[in-house]
Amino acid sequence: MLKLDDPSLMKTQSFINNEWLSNKQTFSVFNPADNNVVAEVNNDSSAEVEQAIGAAKQAQKTWAKKTAIERSDLLMAWYQQVIEHKDDLAKIMTLEQGKTIKEATGEIIYGAKFIQWYAEEAKRVAGETLPTPSNDRRIAVIKQPIGVVGMITPWNFPSSMITRKAAPAMAAGCTLVSRPASETPLSALALAELALRAGIPKGVFNVVVGKDSKAMGEVLTRHPDVAKFSFTGSTAVGKKLLEQCASTVKKVSLELGGNAPFIVFDDADLDDAVAGALASKYRNSGQTCVCANRLLVHASIYDAFAEKLAKKVKQLKVGNGWDDDTAIGPMINHQAMLGVHQLVTDAISQGAELLTEAQTPNEHSNFYQPALLKNVTTDMSLAKEEIFGPVAPMIKFESEQQAIDIANDTRYGLAAYFYSRDIGRCYRVAEALEFGMVGINEGVISNPMAPFGGVKESGIGREGAHDGIEEYLETKYLCLGGIE
């Protein structure tokens, strides 16, 4: 049984207009570590999404009229609430998502930092004045909140993917309706409780929870009162939602799948590269869109790198997220685990070599032993698809250009990483990689100060940094005539 210091953070109803509402229908939330039901949560559908949009619309003009400092103070109060309750929030996350309690605590703090960052950025929204074509006019450019925002977020980062969207939206003067993944609604609802305690006015931050993502998504993407839609999840679903948004020409942000190359050049510091690969690949059991998905290693150091990394991977302990020595928690569900195992099995049948222990999935368990494979080739599904599990395929390359070509040979363009101590190569390769983010001698690059996002089929727009708030602002041009 989960013991929280503050049990009232465990909410199971939807949060609309600062009220906890129930429609008497529920769905079950499971603990991926043992498949036990941990909560029965209100099963919202289109009607509740419409209701929440109505509340957000009602609140938006008043929220936008608050001064930037008033919005900033309220966001800062929310940030403080989250930090104060970080241990309970982390426990809720481990319960419903499975990640280790250490990683869950890290995510809560990471997510809170977006609220803190955008509490500050709220005060720095600025327009400009521009030169005019004639002296009797003046041109001013002002920034205004776009309006009501609809958001859909995934289960892999149940708290920070919400704050990374909600904080800049609210800082800009927008109100929102957040629909978290049905696997992980509890973290979202706990954030709502803390927003309430922080004094965020009614209708500004609404959370609807339900199993029917398609129906809820239809409303969020097609409703004429939603001006902006922001999504994090798979590329396949992102494409559908983008199409749906076309019906009302919404402004859209998409943070979609990745297939990150992690290149180790022959001049790399090998131990640093091993540590970077381990952190990048295996955090959150490999269920991260910016995870290293393909390890590209120069032929001259291929075997040495494989040996060092395999030794570390074998030491990663798989287990329940509550245990202090667990490094790899369960995968989100059985189907996800089987999908990862299938990719590994296919690669081995095509000639890849497993450097870690072979495993047979247990039909009642979602755990998967971290794996490392060598002799993987670019035509294998393991190298082409987003693995989303604790499995690293190693591909050999002979030259810098070949590494770049292999790295770019994907429809994804989210994150890429490479290790080299040659400054010229660092610039050349960073510029040549067709990805939105590049880690150079660094395996974990996410933080609120940096613009997170992808190119190609990995998405549209940026989250974090000053860019993140721009996604929730419209530019208005004012032309004032009759000056002379």
Ligand X SMILES: NC(=O)C1=CN([C@@H]2O[C@H](COP(=O)(O)OP(=O)(O)OC[C@H]3O[C@@H](n4cnc5c(N)ncnc54)[C@H](OP(=O)(O)O)[C@@H]3O)[C@@H](O)[C@H]2O)C=CC1
Ligand Y SMILES: O=C(O)CCCC(=O)O
**Which residues are part of the catalytic machinery?**
255
**Given candidates 350, 432, 446, 455, which one binds ligand Y under the rule CB under 6 A?**
446
Handedness of CA 425, 417, 453, 105 (dihedral sign): negative
Closer by beta carbon to ligand X, 17 or else 234: 234
Residues in the interface with ligand Y (CB under 6 A) total: 7
- Give which of 356, 334, 381, 186 is closest to 282, Cα–Cα: 356
Residue 290 contact among ligand X, ligand Y, none, beta carbon within 5 to 8 Å by kind: ligand Y
Closer by beta carbon to ligand X, 13 or else 232: 232
423: tokens are 């400054």
How many helical (H) and strand (E) elements, i.e. helices and strands, does the chain have?
15, 22
Nearest residue to ligand Y, using CB?
Answer: 446
> What radius of gyration do the chain's Cα atoms show?
23
> Which residues lie closer than 8 Å to 214 by C-beta, 6 or more apart?
none
> What is the C-alpha separation between 60 and 481, in angstroms, rounded?
31
Using CB under 6 A as the binding rule, whether residue 187 contacts ligand Y is answered as: no
Site string for ligand Y, 284-303 (x = CB under 6 A): ----xxx-------------
Closer by beta carbon to ligand Y, 100 or else 232: 232
**Given candidates 98, 217, 370, 413, which one binds ligand X under the rule CB under 6 A?**
217
Asked whether 116 and 170 are in contact (CB, 8 A), the reply is: no
In whole angstroms, how close is the CB of 61 to ligand X at the nearest point? 28
**Given candidates 16, 167, 172, 181, which one binds ligand X under the rule CB under 6 A?**
181
Using CB under 6 A as the binding rule, whether residue 257 contacts ligand X is answered as: yes
Is residue 352 helix, strand or coil?
coil
Angle at 290 (CA atoms; ends 289, 296), nearest 5 degrees: 120
Using CB under 6 A as the binding rule, whether residue 132 contacts ligand Y is answered as: no
Give the H or E element holding residue 287: none
Using CB under 6 A as the binding rule, whether residue 416 contacts ligand Y is answered as: no
DSSP designation for 316 = P
> What is the C-alpha separation between 434 and 455, in angstroms, rounded?
7
Using CB under 6 A as the binding rule, whether residue 214 contacts ligand X is answered as: yes
Q: Which of residues 296-315 bind ligand X (CB under 6 A)?
A: none
223: tokens are 């409703």
Provide the binding-site residues for ligand X, judged by CB under 6 A: 152-156, 181-183, 213-214, 217, 232-234, 237, 240-241, 255-257, 289, 386, 388
Provide the binding-site residues for ligand Y, judged by CB under 6 A: 156-157, 232, 288-290, 446
